[in-house]
Structure 1
Amino acid sequence: MSDPFFSRKRKRGPARGGRAAQLSRAPERSNEIEDEEITDPETSDEEMQEAGSADTHTEAESEEESGDENDEAEFANESAADKRRRLAQQYIENLQNEIDSTGFDARDVDKDILAARLKEDVAEVQGRLYRFIAPSFAFLRPARKFLSYKTMLTPTGIAGADNTLYTVSKDRILSKWDATSGKRLKFKRGDHDKEIVCIAVSFDGKFVATGGKDRKINIYNPELDLLKTFTQHRDSVLCLSFRRGTHQLYSGSADRTVKSWSLDALSYVETLFGHQDAISDISALAQERCITAGSRDRTVRIWKIVEESQLIFRGGGPGSGHRVKFVEGSIDAVAMVDHHIFVTGSDNGTLSLWTLQRKKPVYSVHLAHGLDTLLTPQEYTAEKEHFPTPPKQQPRWITCLATLAYADIVVSGSWNGVKVWRVVTQDTTRIDVDGVATGGARKQYSLEPVAAFKLPGVVNGVKILENGNGEIRICAAVGRELRGGRWMERDAKNGVHVLTIQKKSG
C-alpha cells in the first residue's frame, strides 16, 4: 500500500516537460493538485481508512501499554489471594454499574436474584434438593380434566414435556395430547406386536420412546414418525427413563438387565447386570447414573455408569398394619428426588424415603394408601351355604411414583387415587450415647402428607408437569386393570386425569 505522505511529496515535485510546460498547464491542474494533496489516485478509500485506523490503534495501544505498565507497577507486590479479591470486587462493581444503568435497585437485585440464582445453580450442579415449593401451592379443589377416546383400553404409561402428554395403552396405541385443551393431537398404532407397557419423553420433546412385551423399544419424533427400533432385550421392556438434559435413554426389562442408548446416534451403548428379578421401574436425573427397582429381589440399585459400579439398597422389612404386619414382597416403584435422595413404593403399601448415606430407609410411611375393602363371601368363594373364613384385608400396593426434579413434591398412585407428599428436611444436632450434644449437625428427612385425590380405577402411571405459569399439573393414567395383568378389575373409565394446581395468591 502506498503511503499518502510520500505520495504528497512526489506530486509536489516538478512535472516532466520543463518549467514552461508546467506553467502553461498550471491553471488547468490547480484543482487536481489540491485533490492529489488529499489522496493519491492509486490509493483507494479502503486503504486510507486502514491507514487511519492503524494510526488510531497505534495511539490506543500506546496508551493501553502505558496503563498496563502503571497497573503492573501498582500491583507488583500483590499476592494471589489479594489479586482474586481485587478482581472479584471489580466484577461486582461492574455488574452493579450495569444494573444501575438499567434502572433497578442493585441491592434488591443482588439479594433477590443474584444470590438466589447462584445458590440454585450450585445446588443443581451438586444434585441437591433446593426447591421447597410444596407449601406455595393450593392443593384444595384443583381444576380437573379427563382425557380419553371412545375405544381406549387400559392405559399402561404416561409421559410428557411442557404442555404435551403422551400415553400408551393395551390396545397398542401411542397417543399425543394437548394437556391444556385436552384434545388428542395424533395417534399411532401397529409398530408394536404386543401390548405397550412403558413410555418416556426427552426433556426437549425431541424423542419419544416406547417399550412393550414384544421386547422392542421404538423411537419416535414429536410427529410420531418411527425413527428406530431396538430389539436387543430378551424379554419384555418394563420401564424407560431419559437422563435429564440429554438424549441418553435407560431401559429396564424382565430379562433383569439395564441397557443404555444414545438417541443422538440412535445406537446401543452398553448393558448393566446385577438384578435377580425383573426390573419394574427406573429413574434418572442429570448425572450419568440411574436407579432401578428389582421387584421381587427386593433391591434398589444405583448404577454409576462412569465408575462402572453400583450401590445396592435392600428392602424386605415388615411394615406395620393395624393389628398385623405386612411383609414387603417386592419393590415395584422408584423415583429420584435429587442425586442423594430417592423414594420407593412396595406391594405392602409402604412408601419409603432413602438417602445414599444409609442402607435402610430414613423414613417410611406404612399403608400409605390404606387397606383394600373387605371381600364379601360371594366375591371370594363359590360356595352357596358354608362359607370359609374370609381373607384378611390386604394393603393397596403403590403402583407408581413421580417427583419434580430437585423439588420437595412426591406423588404416589394406587387403585384409590393419587396422594401428594412433601419431603421435609430438618437440621438436627448429633447426640452421643450419653445424650450429650457432640456439636456436629446432620439432616433429618421425613415425608408429610399434603393432599389426596380419589380417582376411580387403577393408577398405572403418573407424571408431574411444570408449565412456567405458576402452576403444576398432576397427570394420572387410570384404567380398569393393572398394567401387568388382568387379575383385578375396577369399575372405571380408561383415560387420563389432569389435575391443575395453582399457586397460592399473595
Structure 2
Amino acid sequence: MASKLDEEIPSDSDMSSREAESDEDLIEDDEDEETVQEKKIRLAKNLIEKLEKQKESKALDKDQTAYVVRKLEEDLQAKTGKLKKELANKYTSGTIEKQLKGHRLSVTCVAISSDKKYIFSGSKDGTIIKWNFESGMKMNTIKKRLPNENKNSNKGHSKEIYALAISDDSKFLATAGEDRSIKIWNPDNLEFIYSFEGHRDAVSGLVFRANSHQLFSCSFDRSVKIWNVDQLVYVETLFGHQDKILGIDSLNKERCITCGARDRSLRLWKVVEESQLLFNGTHFDSIDCVSLINEEYFFSGSNDSTLAIWNINKKKPILAHKNAHKTSVHNENTSLFGGGFQPTNWICSVKAYHNSDLLASGSDDGFIKIWAFSSSNNTLNERFKIQVNGFVNDLQFSEDGSYLIAGVGQEHKLGRWSTNKNAKNSILIIKLNSDDLK
C-alpha cells in the first residue's frame, strides 16, 4: 500500500476561488499544457539535431556548437521542469566583496538585473535605491512620499517597502509595501510608469513570471493578484489562504507558489487550470518564506527555524531540516505574531538558484547558510556559511549563480519587536567561490 506521502495532491476545492478540478482532471491538464508547448519543443529539438550534425562540418566551430546545444537543452529542460543542475558541491565558500550603505532603516528586499549591472533595494525608510553592481556606487533614489505631499506630485511610496521584482529583460521594475500600492518603474532611469491599486492591505511579495511581463503579487489581505504589466491592467484575484501571505515565487509555467504565515500552509496556484494545490505539515509556526527550486520542487522557511523541501506531487514535505539556524548571537527574539512562542532563530529568507541544487537561507543567527539539495535521495546538506551580523531579510542569486545578494537590517522586515543595534542596514554583495564552475 502506498503511503500518504506518495499520494497525488488534489486541488483544494473548499478554499479555491473557483471550482476546483478532480485529480484526474489535473493530470489531464498537465498533459494538455505540455501539448501546448509541443511545437516550440519540437522546433528546438530539430535545431539541436541540426547543430549536432554540423559538428563534423566547417559550418560552425565545434566548441560553439556544443555550447549552443547545451544551452538549448537546458532551456527545454527548464521549461518542462526537468532541469536540475548539480552546482552546490562545486562551491567552497562565500566572500563578502562589498557592503552597500545608504538606507537609514532596515533593508527589506533586493533585486538584481539579469545582466548583473544593477542592484535595487527597498527599505523600511520608504526609499528605493539603484546601485551599480561593479562599483557599489549609488546611482539613483526613489524618495519616500511624505504625508503632506500631494500624491500626484511625488510618486514614491508613502510607507515601508516590502517587495521588489525586476523582469528578466530589465524592462520593468515593480515595487510594493505597506501603502498597498504596486508601482511600476523604468529600471534605466527610475521614471514612474504606473501604479496598480487593488490590494486591501500591505503588499508583501512580488514576482515576474520568467521571460514574461506577467506579475504576481501577494498581500496581508490573504489574496494573490495577477497583473499584465505590458498592458498595465489587472487580470484576476486568487483566494484561499486563511492568514497573511508572506512569500511568493514563480518560474516558467503560468503558476506561482505562496506561503500563508500562521495558516501554516503553502499553495501552488495553477492559473491556466483554475485550481490550487494545498501543502501543509512539518512547520508548527508561521511560514514566512518560500522559493521554487524548479517546476517540481520548492522549499520553505519558518519561525520554528525549520527548512522544508516539498515535491508538488506530495501532500507533505519530503524533507524537514529542523534547527537550520540555531546558534544565536542575538537573544531578544519573540514570535513574529505574538502568542508567547519564542523560536531559536526564525528563518527570515530563503532562495534557490532556480533549476539547480543550490539553496540559501538567512536568519538573525549571524549567518547566511548555503545548502546542497539532492532530489535523488532527499537530503539537504550544509555546504558552508557566511558570517553576517543582522537580520537577513532577503536573498537573491545573480543570473549566472556566481553571486548572492543579501538585504540586511537591524530589524526583521515585518516587525520591530527585536533590534540588533550592532548590525548595519546594508546590501551585501557576496562572491560564491568555486573550484570548478562553468
Amino acid at match of 2:122: V
Paired residue for 2:273, among 307, 324, 329?
307
Match of 1:498 among 424, 429, 434: 429
Distance in 1 separating the partners of 2:96 and 2:410: 23
What is the alpha-carbon distance in structure 2 between the residues aligned to residue 279 and residue 93 of structure 1?
A: 47
2:404 corresponds to: 474
Mapped pair 1:418 → 2:384? no
SS in 2 for 1:157: strand
Name whichever of 350-359 and 496-505 sits farther off: 496-505
For residues 179 and 341 of structure 2, the distance between their equivalents in structure 1, rounded to whole angstroms, comes to: 37
**CA spacing shift, 1:298–1:394, aligned 2, 3 Å:** closer
Per the TM alignment, residue 502 of structure 1 is displaced from its structure 2 partner at its CA by: 3.6
Would you say 1:231 and 2:206 are equivalent positions? no
Distance in 1 of aligned mates of 2:287 and 2:274 = 24
Distance of 1:341 and 1:453 partners within structure 2: 25
For residue 418 of structure 1, report the CA deviation from its aligned partner: 0.9
Q: Against the structure 1 CA distance between its residues 350 and 109, is the aligned structure 2 distance closer, same or farther, given a 3 Å change threshold?
A: same
Q: Is the 8 A contact 1:129 1:337 kept in 2?
A: no
> Which whole-Å CA distance do the structure 2 matches of 1:94 and 1:225 have between them?
43
**Distance in 1 (alpha carbons) for counterparts of 2:57 and 2:192:** 53
How many angstroms does 1:93 deviate by? Answer: 8.2
- Of all paired residues, the percent bearing the same amino acid is 35
Q: How does 1:244-393 map to 2 (within 5 A)?
A: 244-317=210-283, 328-372=284-328
Per the alignment, residue 396 of structure 1 pairs with: 345
CA deviation profile, 1:147-205 (whole Å, cap 9, x unmatched): 012x6211111111132110011111110011221111111112112111111111111
- Does the 8 Å contact 2:55/2:61 carry over to 1? no
So what's the TM-score if we normalise by structure 1? 0.69
- Report the Cα distance in structure 2 between the residues aligned to 1:212 and 1:474, rounded to whole angstroms: 23
Show the counterpart of 1:201: 166
3-state SS of paired residue (1:302): strand
Contact 2:282 2:317 in 1 (8 A): no
In structure 2, the partner of 1:435 is none
Secondary structure of 1:466's counterpart equals: coil
CA distance in structure 1 between the partners assigned to 2:129 and 2:227 by the alignment: 23
* 2:95/2:386 contact within 8 Å kept: no
Q: Secondary structure at the match of 2:398?
A: strand
Q: Which has the higher contact order (CA 8 A, sep 6+)?
A: 2
Instruction: Note the C-alpha offset of 1:366.
Output: 0.4
User: What displacement does 1:424 show?
Assistant: 1.1
C-alpha displacement of 1:127: 1.1
Structure 1 CA distance, aligned partners of 2:54 and 2:330?
71
For residues 350 and 50 of structure 2, the distance between their equivalents in structure 1, rounded to whole angstroms, comes to 47
User: 1:74-126 CA distances to partner (integer Å, 9 max, x unpaired)?
Assistant: xxxxxxxxxxxxxx99x968963575224756xx888x557645542432221
* Alpha-carbon separation, structure 1, partners of 2:51 and 2:69: 16
Give the superposition deviation at 1:503.
3.3
Deviation readout 1:250-284 (Å, 9 max, x if unpaired): 00011100000000001110000101000000000
Task: Give the 3-state SS of the residue equivalent to 1:124 in structure 2.
Answer: helix
Count residues in correspondence: 371
1:100 aligned to 2:57?
yes
Matched AA of 1:142:
T
Structure 2 unaligned regions, length at least 5 = 1-44, 146-155, 335-339
| RMSD value, Cα | 2.7
Q: CA deviation at 1:130?
A: 2.2
DSSP 3-state at the match of 1:359? coil
Structure 1 residue 290: Cα displacement = 0.3
Q: Using a 3 Å threshold, how does the CA distance of structure 1 residues 253 and 143 change in structure 2: closer, same or farther?
A: closer
Aligned-partner Cα distance in 1 for 2:226–2:317: 28
CA deviations 1:47-91 (Å, max 9, x no partner) are xxxxxxxxxxxxxxxxxxxxxxxxxxxxxxxxxxxxxxxxx99x9
Greater share of helix = 1
1:123 to 64, 73, 77: 77
The 3 A distance-change label for structure 1 pair 240 and 374 is closer
Q: SS where residue 96 of structure 1 aligns? A: helix
Contact conserved, 1:155 with 1:494, CA < 8 A, in 2? yes
Flag the structure with larger Rg.
1
Equivalences for residues 145-160 of structure 1 within 5 A: 145-149=98-102, 152-160=104-112
Amino acid at match of 2:296: H
TM-score under structure 2 length normalisation = 0.79
TM alignment of 1:169-180, pairs within 5 A? 169-180=123-134
Distance in 2 separating the partners of 1:146 and 1:277: 35
Q: How does 1:24-63 map to 2 (within 5 A)?
A: none
Question: Match for 1:495: what amino acid?
Answer: S
Counterpart code for 1:220: W
Letter in 1 for 2:186: N
- Change beyond 3 A, Cα 1:354–1:244: same
Kept after mapping to 2: 8 A contact 1:158/1:462: yes
User: CA offsets per residue over residues 265-306 of structure 1, 9 Å max, x none?
Assistant: 011100001010000000000100000000000010000000
Q: Distance in 2 between matches of 1:290 and 1:404?
A: 16
**1:168 aligned residue (122, 147, 150):** 122
Distance 1:101 1:205, change over 3 A: same
**Cα gap change, 1:316 to 1:203, in 2 (>3 Å):** same
The answer for the alignment partner of 1:135 in structure 2 is 89
Matched AA of 1:451: F
